[in-house]
Amino acid sequence: METILTVVDLEQGTRDVIDATCKYARSLDASVILVNVEPLLPGAEGAGADELVSDLTNGYGEEIQTIHDLGEELSALGVTNRVLIIEGTAADELVKEVAREEVSLIVIGSEPHGALVEAMTHGLREQLAKRVRCPILLVPLA
């Protein structure tokens, strides 16, 4: 079975990314991993599991609920999926997940930026394109 890794930032445009994911998952008979990457939590190093769960729930409770709702929506449409929230640097963590899950397609939103912004941020999509060997579907966001 094919596996699609869909990167969601839960901002404006997430709906377009989910719609594209659903379309390709159905046509490829693929399962989906919905991924949201959060930055490293301050003070997370050395914290116990209970403390980390509490910090994540208090700091990212709304995001956690939203991504789980998106997963339930895909399930209701007949798309097998699981939700994954990763802590760390987006490009590094996504590359690890792509390798671990043998992902066959990455779906990610793409907002147009000027050359200066792209040069300064080393855009995530460009970092992924250089580091993974599977196709990347860029979903244009308004």
User: pLDDT tens digits, the chain, 142 residues: what are they?
Assistant: 899 999 998 887 899 999 999 999 999 999 999 999 887 655 556 667 777 667 666 666 778 889 999 999 999 999 999 999 888 888 999 999 999 999 999 999 887 655 554 554 457 888 898 999 999 999 988 6
| Rounded Cα–Cα distance for residues 45 and 103 (Å) | 29
Domains: count for the chain: 1
- The pTM for the full model equals 0.81
Where in the sequence is the domain holding 58, given as residue range(s)? 3-140
Which CATH number belongs to the domain containing residue 24 in this structure? 3.40.50.620
Task: Give the residues across from 3 on adjacent strands.
Answer: 31
pLDDT tens track for 15-53: 999 999 999 999 999 999 999 988 765 555 666 777 766
Residue 44 is predicted with a pLDDT of 58
Distance, in Å, from the CA atom of 61 to the CA atom of 33, rounded to the nearest integer, reads 19
